[in-house]
């Protein structure tokens, strides 16, 4: 069974990469995972094209969840999802959860073969605790 993919979007590439490292070390290799962060000039920011490409790298037919940090990361992730091909759009969900903890929790849930809805729900359950 294909695992749901996890995408990490932070304004800071270091935060995004670090969160991805934690997922890899704590959960393992079986979950498709990609991260993106920072703007082209090396500063803080997020970029719609980069987010689309991260979704592509973490793509799974089971779907993808996206973890975001501050406002613009969410706005740009929503935009990126809307710009995906129609057959993929509905299978990508943004989680209302803290980026680091949410990524680890989501990946753990995803590794068990859960659906994309359940993966998001679990990540959000963690943040609502």
Q: Which residues bind another protein (CB under 8 A)?
A: 25-28, 39-41, 43-45, 47-49, 72, 75-76, 78-79, 83, 104-105, 108-109, 111-113, 122, 125-126, 129
Token reading at 51: 């987010």
Token reading at 98: 């803290």
- The least CB distance from residue 23 to another protein, in Å, is 9
- The least CB distance from residue 59 to another protein, in Å, is 19
Nearest residue (CB) to another protein, 14 versus 83: 83
What phi and psi, each to the nearest 5 degrees, are found at residue 93?
A: -125, 135
> Could you give the CA distance from residue 82 to residue 67 in angstroms, rounded to a whole number?
16
What would you report as the CA-atom Rg of the chain, rounded to the nearest whole angstrom? Answer: 13
- The least CB distance from residue 100 to another protein, in Å, is 11
Token reading at 89: 């759009």
| Separation in Å, CA 49 to CA 13, 68, 75, 106, 118 | 15, 15, 13, 23, 27
Nearest residue (CB) to another protein, 43 versus 85: 43
What phi and psi, each to the nearest 5 degrees, are found at residue 104?
A: -65, -45
Nearest residue (CB) to another protein, 75 versus 115: 75
Nearest residue (CB) to another protein, 41 versus 87: 41
């Amino acid at each position: 069974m294909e695992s749901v993919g996890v995408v990490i979007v932070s304004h800071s590439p270091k935060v995004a990469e670090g969160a991805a490292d934690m997922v890899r070390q704590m959960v393992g290799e079986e979950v498709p995972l990609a991260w993106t962060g920072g703007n082209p000039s090396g500063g803080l920011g997020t970029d719609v094209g980069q987010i689309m490409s991260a979704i592509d790298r973490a793509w799974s037919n089971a779907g993808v969840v996206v973890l975001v940090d501050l406002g613009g990361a969410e706005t740009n992730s929503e935009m990126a999802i809307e710009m995906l091909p129609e057959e993929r759009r509905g299978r990508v969900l943004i989680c209302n959860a803290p980026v680091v903890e949410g990524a680890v929790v989501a990946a753990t849930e995803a590794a068990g073969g859960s659906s994309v809805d359940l993966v998001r729900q679990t990540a959000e359950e963690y943040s609502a605790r």
